[in-house]
């Protein structure tokens, strides 16, 4: 028996007007007067098609990414504490961290609604663009627009599935009598739809773009997300499992590697600056535009910097998503095991990525001394801890002078980067018993990191620093189980604070042992997924009694 979930409809005209207020990517859209629009003439021109597609990109930069990924990936995954000044500030996140999440949690409701808003916009493109006869809309451009929409639809579905498991599959604009949509009885239907969308998208998308189109979905992006879908499905016992698809994952990642389009950014940290946006390692970035008007979702910047930047006199952030390490106070948050498995001590000695990803005592950033504030003489001598955990995320911070206002950062968000692809390739090949291939990809990532010699940038990452020798040894382990552990560890370090950790733990059946050791009561069979939002259950009596297990 299939469950049913009510999906609210949106006004097509209302969306049409909204389309021209959006600029999800840097130069994707030239606006035209809103007064030119009517319900009959909106989907008639090449410009209309591109505007509709731009609107489909837009939700990617909403809370679904700028909040949802660090909340679930970093905080729930054990690499960070909720942070902020006290436990009551956004207690919904703390409840997620402690695995006592309620179906009424507003963060889950936002993820659900924003992802389906994105799917709705993609379906509008896929349904309304094909009939357009404007000669300026060539067949090649039309096919590319449709392929981008399919990539985006798969992306929104991926956000939903990794959080909630099987969710309603919506592939068209719904009519009033179609708004109750069945929830698949098996998650395989969701994966099949994503695989179909991404396979079709990859055939029509280009390898790269130039000029104002840089930042759009490419063939590499579609193949990468497809490989990620294969990886998620491949471990028996996981809530995401359908069948082992390691060979498919290895093939798709090899295709990306052999395309010659991507390479590892030799500086590592540059890709997390404005100067490094859409660089050689960018497979897909969510484009952000600073300087646009409005607060948060009303502008085209992104809010991640606002959430994770320290809450100090010289930083305008709110201090959420704070790492845990050996300098965190004992019994932090009333948890005697809070520092077990902490990420700071999981870095190998001499790994330069530690100072590029995490701020701690002794570091400086943009000329400011961490955990200190200026005295009367303007010197950083006054001890004033920046966070309760004594650590902050460094990776995403840019100077305050580059921000366009609160929750309006111009820094792109990394959804997929080449290091991730290499580590998927290593993981897949290891599972296939192809150790040589696995070690090659793994060691490319490690060599880039240790070749930095802790010297590409000074501690404040603003100028070159003196080269300091740094030890590096290639991984040579050939035992499959041990190499599996090494690869997952490398993912934790290389991709720290990019929203992957919790989902990596869940998909590999590691979450319960790892998080329980930290005093976090993850329960396999329940905590693997989050509850379906209560608001959706309330809209549909047929869903009542069919919540995710344990909620």
Predicted TM-score (pTM) of this structure: 0.91
Residue 430 φ/ψ, nearest 5 degrees: -65, -40
Q: Which residues of 358-380 are buried (b: 16+ CB within 10 A; e: fewer)?
A: bbbeebbbeebbbbbbeeeeeeb
State how far the Cα of 71 lies from the Cα of 64, in Å rounded to an integer.
10
pLDDT at 530: 98
Taking only the tens place, the pLDDT of each residue in 506-549 is 999 999 999 999 999 999 999 999 999 999 988 877 677 889 99
pLDDT at 13: 35
- Please give the average per-residue pLDDT across 418-428, as a whole number: 98
pLDDT at 66: 86
- Please give the average per-residue pLDDT across 20-46, as a whole number: 51
The domain locations on the chain are: 1-185+522-551, 206-284+414-520, 296-411
Average pLDDT score, the chain: 89
With DSSP H G I counted as helix, E B as strand and the rest as coil, what are the percentages for the chain, rounded to 5?
45, 10, 45
State how far the Cα of 435 lies from the Cα of 427, in Å rounded to an integer.
10
* CATH fit for domain 206-284+414-520, picks 1.25.40.900, 3.40.605.10, 3.40.1260.10, 3.40.30.10: 1.25.40.900
Residue 322 has pLDDT above 90, yes or no: yes
Helix, strand or coil, per DSSP, at residue 383: strand
CA angle 345, 351, 354 (to 5 degrees): 60
All residues at 6 or more sequence positions from 171 whose CB lies less than 8 Å from its CB, including other chains? 123, 126, 153, 193
Taking only the tens place, the pLDDT of each residue in 109-158 is 999 999 999 999 999 999 999 999 999 999 999 999 999 999 999 999 99
Higher pLDDT, 12 or 80: 80
CB 146 within 8 A of CB 140: no
Judge if 1-185+522-551 and 206-284+414-520 fold alike in CATH terms.
Answer: yes
CATH code reported for the domain at 1-185+522-551: 1.25.40.890
Taking only the tens place, the pLDDT of each residue in 208-243 is 999 999 999 999 999 999 999 999 999 999 999 999
pLDDT at 453: 58
Helix, strand or coil, per DSSP, at residue 44: helix
Q: How confident is the model at residue 90 (pLDDT cuts 50, 70, 90)?
A: very high
Closest CA to 167 of 113, 215, 225: 113
Helix 246-258 vs helix 418-431: angle between axes, to the nearest 10 degrees?
Answer: 140
């Amino acid at each position: 028996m299939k469950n049913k979930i009510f999906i609210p409809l949106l006004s097509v005209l209302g969306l049409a007007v909204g389309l021209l207020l959006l600029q999800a990517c840097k130069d994707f859209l030239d606006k035209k007067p809103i007064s030119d629009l009517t319900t009959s003439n909106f989907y008639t021109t090449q410009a209309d098609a591109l505007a509709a597609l731009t609107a489909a990109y837009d939700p990617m930069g909403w809370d679904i990414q700028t909040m949802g990924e660090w909340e679930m990936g970093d905080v729930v995954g054990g690499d960070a504490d909720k942070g902020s000044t006290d436990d009551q500030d956004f207690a919904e996140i703390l409840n997620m961290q402690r695995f006592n999440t309620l179906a009424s949690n507003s963060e889950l409701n936002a993820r659900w609604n924003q992802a389906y808003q994105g799917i709705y916009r993609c379906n509008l493109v896929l349904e309304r663009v094909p009939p357009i006869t404007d000669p300026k809309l060539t067949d090649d451009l039309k096919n590319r627009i449709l392929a981008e929409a399919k990539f985006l639809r798969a992306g929104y579905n991926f956000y939903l599935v990794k959080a909630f498991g099987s969710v309603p599959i919506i592939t068209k604009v719904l009519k009033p009598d179609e708004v109750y949509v069945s929830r698949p009885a098996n998650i395989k239907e969701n994966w099949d739809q994503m695989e179909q969308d991404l396979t079709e998208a990859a055939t029509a998308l280009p390898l790269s773009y130039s000029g104002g189109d840089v930042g759009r979905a490419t063939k590499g992006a579609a193949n990468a997300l497809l490989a990620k879908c294969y990886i998620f499905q491949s471990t028996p016992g996981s809530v995401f499992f359908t069948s082992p698809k390691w060979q498919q994952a290895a093939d798709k990642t090899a295709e990306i590697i052999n395309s010659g389009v991507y390479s590892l950014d030799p500086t590592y940290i540059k890709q997390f600056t404005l100067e490094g946006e859409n660089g050689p390692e960018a497979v897909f970035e969510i484009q952000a535009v600073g300087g646009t008007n409005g607060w948060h979702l009303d502008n085209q910047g992104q809010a991640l910097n606002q959430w994770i930047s320290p809450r100090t006199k010289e930083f305008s952030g709110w201090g959420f998503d704070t790492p845990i390490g050996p300098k965190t106070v004992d019994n932090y948050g009333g948890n005697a095991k809070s520092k077990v498995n902490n990420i700071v001590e999981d870095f190998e000695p001499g790994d330069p990525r530690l100072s590029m990803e995490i701020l701690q005592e002794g570091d400086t950033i943009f000329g400011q001394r961490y955990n200190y504030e200026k005295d009367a003489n303007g010197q950083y001598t006054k001890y004033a801890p920046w966070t309760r955990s004594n650590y902050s995320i460094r990776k995403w911070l840019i100077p305050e002078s580059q921000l366009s206002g609160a929750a309006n950062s111009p820094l792109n968000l990394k959804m997929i980067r080449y290091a991730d692809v290499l580590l998927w390739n290593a993981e897949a090949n290891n599972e296939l018993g192809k150790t040589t291939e696995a070690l090659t990809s793994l060691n490319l990532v490690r060599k880039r990191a240790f070749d930095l010699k802790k010297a590409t940038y000074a501690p404040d990452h603003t100028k070159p620093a003196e080269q300091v020798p740094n030890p590096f040894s290639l991984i040579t382990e050939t035992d499959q189980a041990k190499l599996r552990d090494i690869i997952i560890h490398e993912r934790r370090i290389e991709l720290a604070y990019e929203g992957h950790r919790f989902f990596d733990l869940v998909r590999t059946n590691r979450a319960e042992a790892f998080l329980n050791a930290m005093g976090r009561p993850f329960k396999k069979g329940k905590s693997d997924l989050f509850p379906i939002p209560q608001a959706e259950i309330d809209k549909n009596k047929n869903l009542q009694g069919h919540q995710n297990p344990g909620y």
